[in-house]
Amino acid sequence: MTSPAHIAIIMDGNGRWAKSRGLPRVAGHRAGVEALRDVVRAAPGLGISFLTVYAFSSENWSRPKSEVSDLMGLLKLFIRRDLAELHGQGVRVRVIGDRESLQPDIRSLLEEAETLTRHNTGLTLVIAFNYGGRDEIVRAVRKLSEAVLQGKIQPHDIAVHDFAAALDTSGIPDPDLVIRTSGEQRLSNFLLWQAAYSELVFVPCYWPDFSSAHLVEALRDFAGRERRFGGLSSQEAVSSALAR
Ligand code: IPE
Ligand code: IPE
Ligand code: MG
């Protein structure tokens, strides 16, 4: 089975997981961090080189203040507790999303994680934090507009690869597979540009219940898909060439 090089996960359902157990939502977020740890540990053994996880969206600020602050606290705890282990495993950390509006202590922790691990050659773990696809696209447009104003590039010379290079994900290949847990079937502003040709797998379980067995199952599902990228399937291409 050939594994997808890049898997992106929308880790959804923490709140409902907690509710179904009569627990506060924060208990679901804590259990979600455990599930994340397990998946990060399992990924390299499954042939995955890039793992992107949606941890906090640009729209999640609209949640109650206390939940937002719980989520900020959990990110800090995750970096503080897990960074050494991640580094030891050869994981390279990248963060995507808007950093400007984050508290300075969170910003510096994220930078520390990226700087410490930047020469690692194992799994690349991309953390989408304060991330929204539309926001990322608008920030990329601003960058390119600046470059135009400075005369570095002409508007008619802007190509698809220039735009991709102005996004937060510059240098990271597009995800082959996007997985969303909790049964919801939508992207919720995740990787709008990058997921143009990704295969989508929706898993009914809540994120805290997601395990490496679910990941293996999603990979099996992916292996049975035929990706065409707008062209023909390889078999159709051969027969159509032979018929000429
Ligand atoms: C996903 O779980 C985690 C974040 C969005 C941060 P939710 O908190 O969205 O859980 P549900 O969807 O309400 O169950
Ligand atoms: C998407 O889940 C964001 C993350 C998993 C971080 P949401 O729970 O915020 O998405 P909606 O509101 O159900 O679309
Ligand atoms: Mg949700």
Residues designated as active site = 12, 60
Confirm or reject: Cβ of 9 under 6 Å from ligand 2. Answer: no
Residue owning the nearest CA to atom 12 of ligand 1: 13
The radius of gyration of the chain from alpha carbons, rounded to an integer in Å, stands at: 19
Secondary structure (3-state) at 130: strand
Confirm or reject: Cβ of 15 under 6 Å from ligand 1. Answer: yes
Over residues 132-157, the pLDDT tens digits come to 999 999 999 999 999 999 999 999 99
**What is the rounded CA–CA span in Å between residue 110 and residue 103?**
11
Ligand 2 atom closest to Cα of 189?
1
Secondary structure (3-state) at 240: helix
Give me ligand 3 centre to Cα 139, in Å: 25
**Banded model confidence at residue 48, pLDDT cuts 50, 70, 90:** very high
Give me ligand 2 centre to Cα 41, in Å: 24
Confirm or reject: Cβ of 133 under 6 Å from ligand 2. Answer: no
**Banded model confidence at residue 189, pLDDT cuts 50, 70, 90:** very high
Q: Please state, as a whole number, how many other Cβ atoms lie within 10 Å of the Cβ of residue 230.
A: 6
| pLDDT given for residue 1 in this prediction | 59
Q: Look at the pTM and tell me if it is higher than 0.95.
A: yes
In residues, how long is the chain? 244
Confirm or reject: Cβ of 78 under 6 Å from ligand 2. Answer: no
* Long-range contact set of residues 213-221: C-beta below 8 Å, sequence gap at least 24: 214/181, 215/7, 215/39, 215/42, 215/43, 215/46, 215/179, 216/46, 218/7, 218/177, 218/179, 219/1, 219/3, 219/4, 219/46, 219/177, 220/1
**Banded model confidence at residue 4, pLDDT cuts 50, 70, 90:** confident
**What is the rounded CA–CA span in Å between residue 124 and residue 50?**
5
**Banded model confidence at residue 50, pLDDT cuts 50, 70, 90:** very high
Give me ligand 1 centre to Cα 189, in Å: 14
Superfamily of domain covering 6-132+173-242: Decaprenyl diphosphate synthase-like (3.40.1180.10)
Over residues 80-122, the pLDDT tens digits come to 999 999 999 999 999 999 999 999 999 999 999 999 999 999 9
Give me ligand 3 centre to Cα 12, in Å: 5
Binding residue ranges for Mg(2+): 12, 199
Residue owning the nearest CA to atom 12 of ligand 2: 188
The number of the ligand nearest the C-alpha atom of 68 reads: 1
Confirm or reject: Cβ of 181 under 6 Å from ligand 2. Answer: no
